Amino acid sequence: MIPVRKLETLPRSQKLRKILRIVTRAELRLAAGLAPAPEDLAFLEGALGLLPGDPGFSPAALSALEAALGLLPAEPSRSLNTIRHILLAETGRAPADWDFVDHRGRLDPAKRRVFPGMRAYLEDIRSPFNVGAMFRTAESFGVEKLYLSPLCADPLHRRASRTAMGAVDVVPWERIAGGLPAREPPPPHRARAGPGTGEFPGGPFFALETGGSGPEDFEFPRSAVMIAGSEELGVSPEALELADSSLGRLSIPVYGAKGSLNVSVAFGIALHAWAAALL
């Protein structure tokens, strides 16, 4: 590890990147229930002491940094987290979900409250970020199982799994070899990808799409499959036909000029309303 006295002589960007690396390592150890390595602590004491004298920080960043340093002995996790994000911003990195440190540890499937029969079908969700967010939301609101269309982004893609924050390992899921059937009960299909080789989900079905009832008026069933469609095109005509002949459509009212929500956001609002109706 570079001595602190040499660190002080480095160009600012290089110095901050090296401090950021050690701060991140220390925070990850704390999140895992471990004390920071002694050599990291010794380095941090000296390296963090250099930061308040750095003239490159804005007054707001410097004030937040000094407050975090003062908090370090009492609340090391929160202090290091604040320092890390200040350094991320100073080094020109906008943090993504995978930059976040989960201090709650690995998910315990035994702690999940699952609503049997609450299932969802992700139809052609193209963005790994959205798929990961939808897995995380499904885990939070007790979804029993997720089904993915053949063209849905892979939940095991690094961007999806990082955004899901462990939920891909906890929520049962399966990729279906064919699309949703039209009206008739589907035959069993082998999964093209993902764990398990079960059957296509049986209904009833409803679609998360415009033109339907809002959450306060929709009659949420105890057991059904909610269909969430493509970010660009929404739920397919075939799936809408299936939903309209079954339980209908659930719509999230919006009041802005955009007129629509990101699919993962709408998915979360819908699942929250569905779970609340089942309590």
| Alpha carbon 16 to its chain's center | 28
Average pLDDT for the chain: 85
Tokens of 250: 């659930």
Sheet holding 224-228, edge to edge: 173-175, 145-148, 118-122, 224-228, 205-213, 249-250
pLDDT, one tens digit per residue, over 191-206 is: 333 443 445 678 899 9
Q: Tokens 């202090």 belong to which residue?
A: 79
| Alpha carbon 129 to its chain's center | 7
Res. 24: pLDDT tops 50: yes
Share of the chain above pLDDT 90, in %: 50
Q: Tokens 């909610």 belong to which residue?
A: 226
Mind listing the domains of the chain with CATH numbers?
Answer: 4-99 (no CATH), 109-278 (3.40.1280.10)
Q: What is the mean pLDDT of residues 175-190?
A: 49
Tell which wins on pLDDT, 171 or 35: 171
Res. 185: pLDDT tops 80: no
Tokens of 77: 């996790």
pTM: 0.72
pLDDT, one tens digit per residue, over 8-18 is: 889 999 999 98
Res. 27: pLDDT tops 90: no
Tokens of 78: 């929160």
pLDDT at 187: 35
pLDDT at 100: 67
